[in-house]
Structure 1
Amino acid sequence: MTDLDLCYMPAHEALQLFKAKKLSPVELMQATIDRAEATEPTINCLTFTYFDEAMDLARKAEAKYARGARTGALEGLPIGIKDESYIKGKPTSHGSLLTNDEISDHTSTNNERIMKAGGIVHARTATPEFCCAGFTWSKRWGVSRNPWNPDFTTGGSSGGAGATLSAGTSAIATGSDIGGSIRIPASACGVVGFKPPYGRNPDEPPFNLDFYCHTGPMARNVKDTILLQNVMSGPSPLDIATLRPKLRLPLDYKPISGWKIALSMDLGSFEVDDEVRKNTLAACDVFRSLGATVEEVDLGWSDEVLKAGMAYLEHLFGASLAPLLKERGDDMTSYAREFAKGGSNSKATDFVGTLEVAARMYQTLGPALEKYDVLICPTTAIAAVPAEFDHTEDTLEINGKLVNPSLGWAMTTPFNMMSRCPVLSVPSGKAANGVPTGIQIVGRTYCDADVFRAAVAYETAQGQWYRSADARPAL
């Protein structure tokens, strides 16, 4: 087995080999660090790195396995942590010049759980400034590039997480999703990303109280995504929104023969690229081969959906950045300034209007999910925008038609609005430019296991990505 094979080894298989004493956490960590040092000049998806500390922790994990001591659910795995949450004694930049790399006085609940489970934080993953874009570049860290084609974006805002996974520089990674920030990079980078239902995983205040906001796992395959989700999930005494009791997902599921699956190719208003459409239909054929029926449905949604979602994000998220404009506006990125200005101008009536739209949306989605086991649709309407794309300056066309350059290419925000629905993005294929595409699997409210059952069946039939050299980015 080569070092590159180690870097792409599924996390759950690495854990099995650790326990069997056939692989050492030190070997995996060294291979991962070597891979990061080789690829970072091109991909630029990591911010702060802790390689020496990670090697020390890997040696401690190795000793635990060697003596047969009790080990955690993630013991010895190199895990990329998004550079927006906190680790006590370490800086968090939020992709911004404004944070001055302030040292945190506490560890975010999710990170604490990961580290208590033996996960090793070897690096932080890049984000756009304050996580407010669907691409990943910032004045603080520069441009993150897609491992499959560096001319294109990793997606955002968990773009560093998507890229580190597809580049083989983390075993698993954390993300957060307030408008598609887990699912967009999962699709663009050819990995798996889970937006849990609101309240399933704890988050930092005050955005733990924002029902659009979800922290979640990202990985190169479905089982590894479950592995991390089971560590992250559960009630927290520091987060009033978290759900009781803790939901623990199984790794294995029954077949989906006899299932009824709904398909919406455009969610009523998105312009969808022909390559994305082709790959989505191919995914439908995989589900049919498993004994499921797939039927196209009309949810009755219109372009008011994206407009309402953007208005909501501006009202709460944008407004949280607005106080920075007066003192530090010149140091902010163009997209963060625009977002903050939108928040400054938002009114309470605009906010209430977004809730009315969300209520109407569920009047059709809810009944549809009673009739069908899951809904599938593309994750993004094109594979990806260019790596240096700036929606405040650039226009975007799909099939020759101008679309909203901000999130008009990402079909994710409607399911932040439908926040209690679990949504999993899995790879569906690649575009001609080599950039992956993805589909979203949407479940009934709080029925997390349904989307994983569908995804495990789909991935088993399609075959896991990254298993061989020709199924990995050519870095």
Structure 2
Amino acid sequence: MAPEALHELGAVEALRRFRARELSPVELLTAVLDRIDAVDQHGGADAVNAVVQTLDRSRDAAAAAERRYADGGDLAPLGEGETALLGLPVATKEKHGIAGEPLSQGIYALRDEVAAADHPVIERISAAGGIVHARTSSPEFSCATVTHSKLWGVTRNPWNRELSPGGSSGGAGAALAAGYAPLATASDIAGSTRIPAAFCGVVGYKAPYGRIPGLPPLAADWYRGDGPMGRSVADTALLTNVLTGIHPVDHGTVPGEGRIPVEFPDAAAWLAGKRIALVARPGDYPVHPDVERAVREAAAQLAAAGAVVEEVELPWSTASVRDITMGHFGNILGPAMAQVTDGLPDLADYTQRFIADTAAAAGRMSLVETLAGEARMQAELAGAMAGYDVLLAPVNAVDGLRADGSYLEGVDAVSAAGVGVHLEHYWEGHITVPFNVNNRCPVLSVPVGFAGNGLPVGMQIVGHPYAEESVFRAGAALEAIRPWPLLAP
């Protein structure tokens, strides 16, 4: 492969080439760092602005990995053990702290804060031989579905610079789509992994609650979870295996059903006889026609390949979901944000609004009342999925968001009939937070097409509680029969 194309390599393919001594970790790291410099930091009007820091130490780590491959020492099987990520560059969300490095979470007034220790996901990447070479942007406190802040400026979507990569892991999604890394870390409390994965045309995974360790005390919030992003299903599975498992710092972590495959030979054969539920338009969500079309086309291809695909209904209203989930945030995340930011100047408008909106919601609905609403939503999803292996749904109801928008007054959507609909809160423009309420269910976001504005469209593949392999099998099957572009042009 020509040197100028090395940034296009996927993680699993790069590992194979390292092992065959056809590629050096130093060569790959150099290629992605050069790509960041050219497109992200010196791209002028076309700058994506997804990377907030590159780490010089990554060059020494790549050289050490190069020596290990050259020495021909013992290596664990591909994707396993302490060599699972050996020599691979990994971009990490800035909130995943690295000891001795800045940890601001995008808040200008906290720009001089430094992490005291590595976040658990950083620990696990390093223990598997991965090289954290770049850190990516997010909105303040990861509380918006767009990615801009006073500290880091506006992060733009590589597919259309006028539009947002989504949020809150917008920098991670944009970095993958632009070729800055083969793997990235993200987090998800209401869709923050899946939303940018969908808008950027990459793969994002919301693992079941407890499968990937976080940091207390907010790790105890059962909506949340840290996780992986990649440009393919196999690459995302690779990083998932590294990140999952019980960790002593997070008492919510749980064992899983086993290692997820990172190779899917004859992937489409898995579909034969599988029963798949389709919810192209959940409840009263006004799904954009371009989004619904792409999801239906993907479902039709799965059916043509041997699956039994049947449409089901979920009786979720955007208003009800908003009230329940904002009430939840108003009892946990909102007060935590208010405590951390108390007295800080120059907070983003969306941060101030989120704290105020969640406080108001908590005043209308107690935590016990939100639990009752969550139980109802969980029963409704279980009923819809009964007798099916996985369920399909759009990630986003809207086809895109402005890169510099804050959407304080809500978001304008378009129904399947082409009728304009105004949604009171921007979170209603995304069909993700219901699956944080159902947070024992694994959810994989995969690309399924494009909207008229040039942005990719993403589809959620939802599994039964802790049935993680099923969503990766379904995603690999779709990838095999409906390949997607790995990079933005």
Question: Above 0.5 in TM-score?
Answer: yes
Q: Which residue of 1 aligns with 2:53?
A: 48
Kindly report which structure 2 residues correspond to 1:107-256, keeping only aligned pairs within 5 A, or say none: 107-244=118-255, 247-251=258-262, 252=264, 255-256=270-271
Pairwise CA distance, 1:271: 0.4
Pairwise CA distance, 1:349: 4.2
Does the alignment pair 1:454 with 2:469? no
How far, CA to CA, are the matches of 1:217 and 1:36 in structure 2?
A: 20
- CA-to-aligned-CA distance 1:419-457 (integer Å, 9 cap, x gap): 100000000111111110100000100100111111111
Across the aligned residues of Structure 1 and Structure 2, the Cα RMSD in angstroms comes to: 1.6
Aligned partners of 1:179 and 1:212 also within 8 Å: yes
Tell which deviates more after alignment, 310-319 or 171-180. 310-319
The TM-score with structure 2 as length reference comes to 0.92
2:464 corresponds, among 410, 431, 444, to 444
In structure 2, relative to structure 1, the CA distance for the partners of 1:418 and 1:245 (3 Å cut) is: closer
How far, CA to CA, are the matches of 2:286 and 2:410 in structure 1?
A: 18
Aligned partners of 1:135 and 1:389 also within 8 Å: yes
Tell me the secondary structure at the aligned position of residue 422 of structure 2: strand
Aligned partners of 1:234 and 1:247 also within 8 Å: no
Q: Which residue of 2 aligns with 1:21?
A: 21
Tell which deviates more after alignment, 333-342 or 363-372. 363-372
Q: Which residue of 2 aligns with 1:68?
A: 72
Amino acid in the other structure paired with 1:321: M
Tell me the secondary structure at the aligned position of residue 299 of structure 2: helix
Tell me the secondary structure at the aligned position of residue 427 of structure 2: coil
Aligned partners of 2:278 and 2:312 also within 8 Å: yes
How far, CA to CA, are the matches of 1:461 and 1:5 in structure 2?
A: 25
Tell which deviates more after alignment, 131-140 or 397-406. 397-406
Amino acid in the other structure paired with 2:54: T
Amino acid in the other structure paired with 2:33: I
Aligned partners of 1:54 and 1:122 also within 8 Å: yes
Report how many residues are paired.
Answer: 467
Pairwise CA distance, 1:306: 2.9
Tell me the secondary structure at the aligned position of residue 426 of structure 2: coil
Amino acid in the other structure paired with 1:198: Y
How far, CA to CA, are the matches of 1:27 and 1:434 in structure 2?
A: 32
- CA-to-aligned-CA distance 1:14-33 (integer Å, 9 cap, x gap): 00100110000111111101
Pairwise CA distance, 1:267: 1.6
Amino acid in the other structure paired with 1:365: L
- CA-to-aligned-CA distance 1:42-78 (integer Å, 9 cap, x gap): 100011211x321221111111100012451101111
- CA-to-aligned-CA distance 1:222-271 (integer Å, 9 cap, x gap): 00000000000000111110003573112236611111111112220210
Q: Which residue of 1 aligns with 2:32?
A: 32
Aligned partners of 1:396 and 1:405 also within 8 Å: no
How far, CA to CA, are the matches of 1:250 and 1:454 in structure 2?
A: 12
- CA-to-aligned-CA distance 1:183-241 (integer Å, 9 cap, x gap): 00000000000000001110011121110001111000000000000000000111110
1:275 corresponds, among 285, 290, 293, to 290
Q: Which residue of 1 aligns with 2:450?
A: 430
Tell which deviates more after alignment, 249-258 or 222-231. 249-258
Does the alignment pair 1:307 with 2:327? no
Aligned partners of 2:90 and 2:181 also within 8 Å: yes
Does the alignment pair 1:95 with 2:95? no
How far, CA to CA, are the matches of 2:304 and 2:59 in structure 1?
A: 45
Aligned partners of 1:315 and 1:347 also within 8 Å: no
Does the alignment pair 1:318 with 2:338? no
Pairwise CA distance, 1:6: 1.2
Pairwise CA distance, 1:397: 3.2
Kindly report which structure 2 residues correspond to 1:227-376, keeping only aligned pairs within 5 A, or say none: 227-244=238-255, 247-251=258-262, 252=264, 255-303=270-318, 304-324=320-340, 326-328=342-344, 330-345=345-360, 346-347=362-363, 349-376=365-392
Tell me the secondary structure at the aligned position of residue 322 of structure 1: helix
Aligned partners of 1:322 and 1:344 also within 8 Å: no
Tell me the secondary structure at the aligned position of residue 426 of structure 1: strand
Aligned partners of 2:399 and 2:457 also within 8 Å: yes
Aligned partners of 1:320 and 1:340 also within 8 Å: no
- CA-to-aligned-CA distance 1:391-441 (integer Å, 9 cap, x gap): 215642324111234211111000000010000000011111111010000
- CA-to-aligned-CA distance 1:156-185 (integer Å, 9 cap, x gap): 001000000000001100000000000000
Tell me the secondary structure at the aligned position of residue 332 of structure 2: helix
How far, CA to CA, are the matches of 2:66 and 2:364 in structure 1?
A: 55
Structure 2: any 5+ residue segments left out of the alignment? 42-46, 76-82
Does the alignment pair 1:59 with 2:63? yes
How far, CA to CA, are the matches of 1:381 and 1:397 in structure 2?
A: 7
Tell which deviates more after alignment, 231-240 or 291-300. 291-300
2:483 corresponds, among 463, 466, 470, to 463
How far, CA to CA, are the matches of 1:311 and 1:302 in structure 2?
A: 15
- CA-to-aligned-CA distance 1:84-138 (integer Å, 9 cap, x gap): 0211111112011132332212111111010111111111110000000011001
Amino acid in the other structure paired with 2:439: S
In structure 2, relative to structure 1, the CA distance for the partners of 1:53 and 1:325 (3 Å cut) is: closer
Pairwise CA distance, 1:464: 4.3
Tell me the secondary structure at the aligned position of residue 247 of structure 2: coil
In structure 2, relative to structure 1, the CA distance for the partners of 1:325 and 1:68 (3 Å cut) is: closer
Aligned partners of 2:326 and 2:358 also within 8 Å: no
Aligned partners of 1:267 and 1:299 also within 8 Å: yes
How far, CA to CA, are the matches of 2:144 and 2:128 in structure 1?
A: 31
Q: Which residue of 1 aligns with 2:394?
A: 378
Aligned partners of 1:322 and 1:343 also within 8 Å: no
Aligned partners of 2:313 and 2:384 also within 8 Å: no
Pairwise CA distance, 1:354: 1.8
Amino acid in the other structure paired with 2:133: H
Aligned partners of 1:64 and 1:70 also within 8 Å: no
Amino acid in the other structure paired with 1:419: N
Aligned partners of 1:263 and 1:294 also within 8 Å: yes
Identity of aligned residues (%): 42
In structure 2, relative to structure 1, the CA distance for the partners of 1:353 and 1:460 (3 Å cut) is: same
In structure 2, relative to structure 1, the CA distance for the partners of 1:306 and 1:4 (3 Å cut) is: farther
How far, CA to CA, are the matches of 1:435 and 1:221 in structure 2?
A: 18
- CA-to-aligned-CA distance 1:296-342 (integer Å, 9 cap, x gap): 111222231233122212331111111355511x4110011111223
